[in-house]
Amino acid sequence: MNTSLWKIDEMHSAIGFSVRHLVVGRVRGQFRSWTAELAIDESDLTRSSVNVSIEMASVDTGNPHRDAELVAGNFFDATKFPAMTFRSRRVERSSENEYRVVGELTIRGVTKDVTLSADLGGFVVDHRGSRRIGMSATARVKRSEFGMVWNQVLEAGGVAIGDEVDIGIDIEAVAPSSLRASA
């Protein structure tokens, strides 16, 4: 195995989510503070791995009141559970540039198996001579499976907040040899 740790380019990476609101719309948000350890084997990406830790209090939906509600006890309970984590167990290739990243997602102390569908953008050398990788990944989880069950029934039927949450991840990372070269 020939893996090396790549550095996440925070300016060109993001972790976001969306969830149904009042049955008909969607609310989107992102997490502003997170870290990732990305071990890449360029010759065989199925031998790669990723570990992510997300600071729950860094949620940003563009609405401070809603963000405060998400951080509180009915949802993230960030005082008691300050981080959400994902640890990959394996990477499977599903087609030329598509992969499944199978791992464990932990939210509010509850750990569930989750599979991310990942799309490899590819490898490139940037204008500064640094080797980069780009990828996007998505997953759908049920918030109720992680203990986030608060909701409000609507008069017209349905509930205020959907149970299914779509997660979207966009990553750019820089190869370690590029980091030494630019130092």
Q: Determine the pLDDT at residue 1.
A: 58
Q: Mean per-residue pLDDT for 80-89?
A: 97
Query: Which of these, 45, 109, 100, lies nearest to 76 by C-alpha position?
Result: 109
Question: How many CA atoms lie less than 13 Å away from 172 in the CB half-sphere?
Answer: 11
Confidence grade of residue 51 (pLDDT, cut at 50, 70, 90):
very high
List the single range of 44-48, 84-88, 147-151, 152-156 with lowest mean pLDDT: 152-156
Q: State the greatest distance between any 2 C-alpha atoms of the chain, in Å, as a whole number.
A: 62
> What 3-state DSSP class applies to 3?
coil
Cα distances (Å, whole numbers) of residue 52 to 8, 24, 83, 143, 169: 11, 32, 10, 18, 11
Amino acid letter, residue 52? V
Quote the tokens at residue 122.
């590819």
Pair 143, 19: CB distance under 8 Å: yes
CATH topology of domain 4-182: Lipocalin (2.40.128)
Confidence grade of residue 178 (pLDDT, cut at 50, 70, 90):
low
Residues 183 and 181: their CA atoms lie apart, in Å, by 6
List the single range of 59-68, 99-108, 162-171 with lowest mean pLDDT: 162-171
Q: Give burial (CB, 10 Å; 0-12/13-18/19+) of 49.
A: middle
Confidence grade of residue 150 (pLDDT, cut at 50, 70, 90):
confident
